[in-house]
Chains A and B, each alone.
Chain A
Amino acid sequence: MEPSYLPTTGSMTPALRAARLLGWFSLGLGAAELIAPGRIARALGMEGRETLLRAYGAREVLAGVGALSMEPTPHIWGRVAGDAVDLATLYLVPRDADNEQQGNVRTATAVVAGIAVVDLLVAAALTQERGRTKADGSADYSDRSGFPKAPALMRGAAAGAPPPDFRNDPSRNIEHADEVRTASDVQ
Chain B
Amino acid sequence: MKALVWHGKQDIRYDTVPDPEIEHGRDAIIKVTACAICGSDLHLFHNVIPAMKPGDIVGHETMGEVVEVGADNKKLKVGDRIVVPFNIFCGDCWQCKRGNYSLCEESNRNAALQEKAFGHRTGGLFGYTQLTGGYPGGQAEYLRVPFADTSHIRAPSGFTDEQLLFLSDILPTGWQAAVQCDIQPDDTVANWGCGPVGQMAIRSAILLGARQVIAIDYLPERLSMAAAAGAITINFQEESVLDRLNELTDGKGPEKCIDSVGMEAHGFNAFGTFYDRAKQMSLGESDRPNVLREMVYVCRPGGILSVDGVYGGLIDKFPMGIFMNKGLTMKTGQTHVKRWTDDLLRIIEDGLLDPSFVITHEAPLAEGPKMYRVFEKKQDNCIKVVLKP
- Listed in ascending order, the chain A residues whose CB lies under 8 Å from chain B are 1-3, 6-12, 16, 65, 70, 130-133, 136-148, 150-152, 154-159, 161, 163-164, 166-167, 172-174
Contact = CB atoms under 8 A, between A and B. Distances in A.
Contacts of A2: 380
Contact of B99 (A3, A136, A139, A166): A166
B294 interface: no
Contacts of A16: 10
B207 interface: yes
B209 A152 contact: no
Interface residues of B, number: 63
Contact of B357 (A8, A146, A154): A146
B379 A144 contact: no
B97 A172 contact: yes
B82 interface: no
Contacts of B179: 163
8 contacts: A3-B373, A8-B367, A11-B45, A141-B225, A141-B228, A147-B229, A155-B230, A174-B97
B12 A144 contact: no
Nearest to A154: B206
B370 A147 contact: no
Contacts of A155: 206-207, 209-211, 230
Given A11-B372, A146-B353, A151-B206, A138 B230 contact: no
B230 to A, nearest CB: 3
B11 A11 contact: yes
A145 B379 contact: no
A145 B224 contact: no
A159 B358 CA distance: 22
Contacts of A131: 373, 376-379
Most buried by A among B45, B209, B339, B340: B209
Contacts of A140: 221, 224
B272 interface: no
A137 to B, nearest CB: 5
Given A146-B203, A163-B179, 20 more contacts: A7-B369, A8-B369, A9-B13, A9-B369, A10-B11, A70-B46, A136-B381, A137-B220, A137-B221, A139-B381, A142-B227, A146-B357, A147-B353, A148-B351, A155-B210, A155-B230, A158-B208, A164-B340, A164-B343, A166-B339
Interface string B69-102: 0000000000000000000000000000111000
Contacts of A133: 379
B358 A132 contact: no
A12 B45 CA distance: 11
Contacts of A173: 97
A136 B375 CA distance: 12
Most buried by B among A11, A147, A161, A167: A11
Interface in B1-48: 7, 9-14, 45-46
* Chain B binding surface, main DSSP class: helix
A27 to B, nearest CB: 13
Contact of B221 (A3, A141, A145, A166): A141
A82 to B, nearest CB: 18
Contacts of A137: 219-221, 378, 381
Contact of B373 (A11, A150, A164, A172): A11
A159 B207 contact: yes
Contacts of A10: 7, 11-14, 369
Given A145-B230, A151-B230, A167-B98, A3 B379 contact: yes
A159 B185 CA distance: 9
Given A8-B367, A146-B354, A166 B208 contact: no
Contacts of B230: 145, 150-152, 154-155
Interface string B346-389: 11000111111110100000110110111011111101000000
A173 B98 CA distance: 10
Nearest to B199: A146
B10 A70 contact: yes
Nearest to A2: B380
A158 B221 contact: no
B381 A146 contact: no
Nearest to A167: B98
